[in-house]
Structure 1
Amino acid sequence: MKTTYKNIKVTIHNNVAVLSFNRPEQLNAMNRDMMNEIIDGINIINEDDSVFVAIIRGEGRAFMAGADIKEYGGQTPEQFKSFQDCGIQLYKSIEKATKPWIAAVNGFALGGGFEIALSCDMILASENAKMGLPEVFLSLVPGGGGTQRLIQKIGLNRAKEMLFFGNQYEADKLYKWGIVNEIYIQNEFDDEVMKFAEKLARRSPSAVKELKRLAQLSLEPVAFEKKLAEEGVAVTNLFYGEEAKEAIQKFIDKT
C-alpha cells in the first residue's frame, strides 16, 4: 500500500480505513494533485479486503471547502474537462464501492466537499459543521452530481432551496432534513465517529455489501419487480453462505 501522500493521509485499524484530506491551511480545498491522490487512496481502500468500513474526513477546521478556485478558474478547456471527469470518477468510486463509506464532517463541507459527503453512505457531523453548495455565487452549478444526489437524499423542494440560495447550513438543520445521520459534540467527535465505524465493521461484511447494492438499486430506473427479484437472489445467496450458516447456528445455540 502507498502510505505517503502530499495532500491526504490513509490509515487502517480494526478493519476501518480513514482517508484524511490534508491541506488544512487551504481548508482542504481540492486541486488537481489532491484529487488524484484522493482517487488513488479510495481505490486502495476499496481493494483492501481487510477493510470493512471507510471514513473520509478533513484535517483542521474543514472537511473540504470545495475546489481550489485559484487553480480551477485558470484552467484551459482541456484541463477543465479532465478535472470534471476525474471528479465524477472520484464520486463514483465512493458511491459504487462494495463497502460503506462514512463522511465525518468537522467544519466546512462546501461545493465539491459536500458532493463527496453526499456520495458517502452516511454523514456524521460535528456540532459546528456547515455544509452547502455555493456554486450559484460563481454563476455555476455543482458539477459532481450534487444536484442529483442532493435531491435523492433530501427531496426536491429543500434541494432547490439549498441550490438556489447557495447558503451554508448548520448540522442540526441538515439532521432534521435527513442528510446528517448523527451529530456529535466537538471534543468527542473523532472518538464517536470511530466508535460508529467500528460498530458497523462488526456487522456481516457480505450482508452489508448486498444491503448497499440493493439500497443503491432502489434509485435506479429499473422495474420494481426486478428490484424485488434482486433482493430475493441476494438473500438466497447469503443464506447458503458460510457467514449466515455460522450466524444462524450461533443464534440457535443461544436459544
Structure 2
Amino acid sequence: MTLAEDAAALADHAARGEDRLAALPAPPARDAAQRDEAAAAHDASRRTRRRFLARHADAVYDLLTDDRTRRARLPDLVFAAADRFPGLVPTRRQMDAERAHVQADKEGREIDQGIFCAAVLRSRRAGTHLIETMLTPTARATELLDEFRRTGRTELGSVLIERDGPAAHVEFRNGDRLNSEDNRLIADLETAVDLALLDDQVRVGVLRGGRVAHRKYAGRRVFSAGVNLADLCDGAISFVEFMLGRELGYVHKLLRGVLVDDANGGAWADRSVQKPWVGAVDAFAIGGGMQLLLVLDRVIAESGAYFSLPAAHEGIVPGLGNLRLGRWSGARTARRVILGGHRVDATDPEATLLCDEVVAPDDMDAAIGRAVHDLAAPAVSANRRMLTLAEEPIDLYREYLAEFAAVQASRVYAPDVLAKVEHRRRDRAAR
C-alpha cells in the first residue's frame, strides 16, 4: 500500500480507538474492567502506529521537513505530524487536556509521542537530521546574543549566565527546589549554553548551582537535585520538551557543541562550535545533575558532596546515564549506581572515576579558576572534539536515544511509577 493509503487506514483505526476511549469514564474514574478496556484500545492503536512508522518513518519525516530542507525542532515536528497524519500522534488539543491532570490521572498519550520519536531516531537519515536540528541555536538565544556579547550578563529566570574573563559561568537558580530540573529550567539552560558557545569571547563554560532556600541547605550552594519530583507527580514534566528535549538540547550541546553552519555536508568541525566545560559540584549531584557530569571535561567537587542516580528506584531511566556512566566508572560501578542506587561520596576512592578534584568548600572558587585556565588552552577544544568522536559516535548516540524514547515514554506511565508518584503527591498534599 502507498503512504496515502496507509495514512488513511491509520486515521480510521485511530478514530475507532478514540471512540472506544470516549465511551469510558475519565481515567481516574475507571474501574478495573474499564482500565483494561482503555489499555486494549491504546494497545491496538499503538500496534497500528508502530507498523505504519516501520514502513513510512522516512517518508513522513521528509514530508514534514520538505525533504530535510527545513529545520523543525522536536515539539514543532511532533505537532506537525499530528496535523499532517491524523491519529499518528496526539494533537495539541489532546495534549492540552492531558496537562490538566496529575501524572496518575492522564490518558498516557505521551507514549504515542515516544513511539513517533523513537521511529524517527531509528532512521539514520531522519534521526541524524533531527539531531542536527536540535543542535542549532534556539531562537531565544539568537535574540539575546548581541546583548550578551555587549554586557557579558543575561538573567534568564531560572538561570544566570555571566562572563568572567574567558569563562561563561552558568548558574542554576531554581533555589526553592534545590536547583532541580523542570520544564522552565531546561529551556533556560539551553539558552544559556547557546550563548556561551556562540560568544567568541568565551573559551570555557562553567556549570554551578546557585544558593538555595531549602531549610536544610539554606544559603548554601547546591549543584542539582535532578528532575523535580513534585512536578513529575503533578504531571508537569513533559516528555517531548523535558525528557527528550534536554537530551537532544542543552545536554547534547555541552558534549557536541552548537551547529552554526546549516549547509548540507562538510566536516562537523567546520559546521559547529564546541567548548570545554567545567562542573562545580556543591552539596550533591543527584539524578540529572549527575548525568551532566558525564559530558563535562573537568569536574570539581567539594569534600562533602555526593553523587547518585536514583532513577531506577523511581522506576524510570536516568537519561543517557546508562550509555555514558560505564565508560567513566566501569561496568560494575555503573550497575551498582544505576541498578542498585549506590551513592558515591566525593571522598570515596571510587569518586576519582567521577570527578577530577575534591576541594574544601572555601577553595572551590580557586579550583574553578585553575580549571578554566587549563581548559582555555587553544588545543583543548580540538582534542575534546576528537575524544567525543571516539567515545560517543553520533550513530551510537542516535541508536541509544531511539530506544530511550520508546522505553522512557512507557516507564513514566507504568503502574509501579504511577503508584509511586501518586503516593508522593498525596503525602505532600497531607503535610
Task: Compute the TM-score of the two structures, normalised by the length of structure 2.
Answer: 0.48
SS in 2 for 1:218: helix
Q: How far apart are the structure 2 equivalents of 1:149 and 1:172?
A: 22
1:67 positional shift: 1.0
**1:44 partner letter:** L
Q: How far apart are the structure 1 equivalents of 2:393 and 2:229?
A: 35
Matches within 5 A, 1:174-185: 176-185=351-360
1:25 positional shift: 2.6
Aligned position for 2:93: none
Contact 1:175 1:182 in 2 (8 A): no
1:176 positional shift: 4.7
Aligned position for 1:92: 252
Contact 1:175 1:181 in 2 (8 A): no
Aligned position for 1:38: 189
1:90 positional shift: 1.9
Find the partner of 1:20 among 160, 167, 171: 171
Aligned position for 1:7: 158
1:167 positional shift: 3.0
**1:100 partner letter:** P
1:175 positional shift: 5.5
Contact 1:9 1:22 in 2 (8 A): yes
**1:86 partner letter:** G
SS in 2 for 1:163: helix
Q: How far apart are the structure 2 equivalents of 1:40 and 1:220?
A: 24
Q: Deviations over 1:57-87 (max 9, x none)?
A: 101342000011111233379x323311211
Unaligned runs of 5+ in 1: 223-255
Contact 1:16 1:198 in 2 (8 A): no
Aligned position for 2:338: 163
Q: How far apart are the structure 2 equivalents of 1:25 and 1:190?
A: 23
Contact 1:174 1:180 in 2 (8 A): no
Aligned position for 1:215: 387
Q: How far apart are the structure 1 equivalents of 2:236 and 2:367?
A: 43
**1:10 partner letter:** I
Contact 1:100 1:212 in 2 (8 A): yes
Structure 1 pair 176–8 and aligned structure 2 pair: CA distance change class (3 A): closer
SS in 1 for 2:206: strand
SS in 2 for 1:172: coil
Structure 1 pair 105–76 and aligned structure 2 pair: CA distance change class (3 A): closer
Structure 1 pair 50–164 and aligned structure 2 pair: CA distance change class (3 A): same
Q: Deviations over 1:105-158 (max 9, x none)?
A: 11111011111121212211110111110112212221x211111112111111
Q: Deviations over 1:8-35 (max 9, x none)?
A: 1111111111101012231101111111
Q: Deviations over 1:152-207 (max 9, x none)?
A: 21111110011112132111226554211111111111222123212332x11xx2
Is 1:71 equivalent to 2:231 in the alignment? yes
Structure 1 pair 36–176 and aligned structure 2 pair: CA distance change class (3 A): closer
Task: Compute the TM-score of the two structures, normalised by the length of structure 1.
Answer: 0.79
Where is the strand percentage greater, Structure 1 or Structure 2? 1
SS in 2 for 1:64: coil
Aligned-pair identity in percent equals 24
**1:85 partner letter:** L
**1:151 partner letter:** G
Contact 1:27 1:62 in 2 (8 A): yes
Q: How far apart are the structure 2 equivalents of 1:56 and 1:114?
A: 12
Is 1:131 equivalent to 2:307 in the alignment? yes
SS in 2 for 1:6: coil
Is 1:81 equivalent to 2:240 in the alignment? yes
Is 1:59 equivalent to 2:210 in the alignment? yes
Q: How far apart are the structure 1 equivalents of 2:206 and 2:182?
A: 21
**1:50 partner letter:** Q
Unaligned runs of 5+ in 2: 1-147, 212-220, 258-273, 395-431
Matches within 5 A, 1:181-220: 181-201=356-376, 203-204=377-378, 207-220=379-392
- Give the paired residue count: 217
Q: How far apart are the structure 2 equivalents of 1:74 and 1:85?
A: 19
Q: How far apart are the structure 2 equivalents of 1:187 and 1:116?
A: 23
Where is the helix percentage greater, Structure 1 or Structure 2? 2
Q: Which moved more, 1:166-175 or 1:122-131?
A: 166-175
**1:193 partner letter:** I
**1:208 partner letter:** V
SS in 2 for 1:25: helix
Contact 1:72 1:80 in 2 (8 A): no
**2:337 partner letter:** M
RMSD of aligned residue pairs (Cα, Å): 1.9
**1:214 partner letter:** M
**2:243 partner letter:** Q
SS in 1 for 2:154: coil
Q: How far apart are the structure 1 equivalents of 2:236 and 2:222?
A: 28
1:220 positional shift: 4.2
